Structure 1
Amino acid sequence: MNRTLILIGLILIAVGLLWPWFSRLPLGQLPGDIAVRRENVSFFFPITTMILASLALTGLLWLINR
């Protein structure tokens, strides 16, 4: 359990340090993401981005547990 918490903490630190570069990636603007913009309301549902993130995390966790 301790190793897992340390690993999660290190991953969060790495993501925090790399956030300026991650924010430049075109994620969240992929085809299949739902965006509705009206006069006073905007709604955004990044379904394609969530599927890609899920696949990437599944692959990463599969490699770690292998």
Structure 2
Amino acid sequence: MSASAGKYLIIAGLLILFIGCAVYFLGNKLSWLGRLPGDIRIEKENFKFYFPITTMILFSALLNLVILLVRKFLH
């Protein structure tokens, strides 16, 4: 492994740690996550379907922003 791979692993670990702490300490304040407008939820008597499309788009945009910032500052 190269030194740059080590940097990426450390950054990924710190990011996972930060997200884990945020969910642990702010879990009750993040209840809106997964219930955004555009998330598809169908509930019937014997059937439940949930597709969080808006939440996935939001996570994708945030992840792309993080990757862009990491690549910009590490190169």
Short-chain TM bin: 0.7 to 0.9
Q: Distance in 1 between matches of 2:55 and 2:70?
A: 22
Q: Percent same amino acid at aligned positions?
A: 41
Of 29, 32, 38, the match for 1:24: 29
CA RMSD of aligned residues (A): 1.4
Please tell me the residue identity of whatever aligns with 1:7. I
- Could you tell me the TM-score, scaled by structure 2's length? 0.76
Figure out how many residues of one structure are paired with residues of the other and give that number. 66
Return structure 1 stretches of 4+ with deviation > 6 angstroms. none
Q: Distance in 2 between matches of 1:33 and 1:2?
A: 37
Q: Which runs of 5+ in 2 are unaligned?
A: none
Q: Deviations over 1:19-59 (max 9, x none)?
A: 13155221111111000101122111000110011111111
- Higher RCO (CA-CA < 8 Å; seq separation 6+): 1
